[in-house]
């Protein structure tokens, strides 16, 4: 019964996401004129190997770049559940997979999905990007669409992952990266920093400093220590 309920919820959210986000519409818009920048939310890395979430988000980013649907990318994510910074990990993989270093921007501070979007939007605005999209899986995209509507940000589209477009890719093997470059000393997991309800509030964007100075959140790819 629990399994069936989980399937029902997932299918329902996916269906709502497909209607509400209009990912097909965003994809068509991108074929007519590529997005200036696409925001890719990060995901925890265990320091050993990538997982399916990281893999598929990166394959999608590669697809968007190789098909001239996106010019630049912001990989967003802090050091949240493991000692490895999500934004840096994603960027290192992306470069190994063919996205040029100069097309990548890192937002290295977000601890929650709402922050992935808001901080990245502030960075995108600082760069002067006009056509902005978020690319993630449909379930997270559904939740983030609600968030962007709540903060009344009308400039962002959602061009969420579509499995049929990445089946042909040959990147089945994990690219080799030096994960130590994304390692953060004296790491404390988020669950030890914030209690459950604080994390829930933050995930809804209720604890974001909407008057933050943008330069606090800017980290460029040229800052990489290769």
pLDDT of residue 11: 39
- Confidence band, pLDDT 50/70/90 cuts, at residue 160: confident
What is the average pLDDT across 36-46? 95
Contacts of 165 (CB under 8 A, 6+ apart): 60, 63
Residue ranges per structural domain of the chain:
2-223
Do the strands 104-107 and 132-134 form a parallel or antiparallel pair, or are they unpaired? unpaired
Q: Give the mean pLDDT of 56-73.
A: 95
Distance, CA of 10 to CA of 213 (rounded, Å): 37
Confidence of residue 148 (pLDDT cuts 50, 70, 90): low
Residues in contact with 103: Cβ distance below 8 Å, sequence separation at least 6, in sequence order: 65, 71, 72, 73
Question: Is residue 222 predicted with pLDDT exceeding 50?
Answer: no
pTM: 0.80
- Topology at the third CATH level for domain 2-223: Rossmann fold (3.40.50)
Q: What is the pLDDT of residue 73?
A: 96
pLDDT confidence of residue 90: 95
pLDDT given at position 14? 45
40 — pLDDT class (breaks 50, 70, 90) = very high
């Amino acid at each position: 019964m629990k399994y069936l309920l989980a399937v029902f919820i997932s299918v329902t959210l996916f269906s709502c996401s497909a209607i509400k986000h209009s990912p097909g519409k965003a994809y068509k818009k991108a074929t007519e004129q590529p997005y200036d920048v696409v925001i890719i939310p990060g995901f925890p890395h265990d320091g050993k190997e990538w997982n399916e979430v990281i893999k598929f988000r990166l394959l999608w980013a590669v697809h968007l770049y190789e098909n001239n649907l996106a010019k630049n990318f912001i990989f967003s994510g802090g050091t949240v559940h493991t000692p490895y910074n999500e934004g840096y990990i994603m960027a290192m993989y992306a470069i190994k997979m063919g996205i040029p270093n100069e097309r990548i921007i890192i937002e290295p501070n977000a601890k929650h999905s709402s922050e992935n979007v808001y901080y990245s939007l502030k960075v995108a605005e600082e760069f002067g990007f006009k056509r902005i999209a978020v690319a993630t899986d449909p379930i997270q995209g559904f939740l983030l669409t609600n968030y962007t509507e709540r903060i009344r940000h009308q400039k962002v589209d959602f061009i969420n992952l579509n499995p049929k477009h990445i089946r042909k890719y040959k990147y089945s093997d994990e690219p080799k990266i030096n994960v130590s470059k994304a390692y953060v000393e004296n790491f404390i997991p988020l669950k030890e920093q914030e209690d459950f309800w604080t994390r829930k509030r933050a995930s809804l964007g209720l604890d974001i400093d909407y008057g933050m100075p943008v330069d606090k959140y800017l980290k460029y790819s040229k800052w990489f220590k290769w």
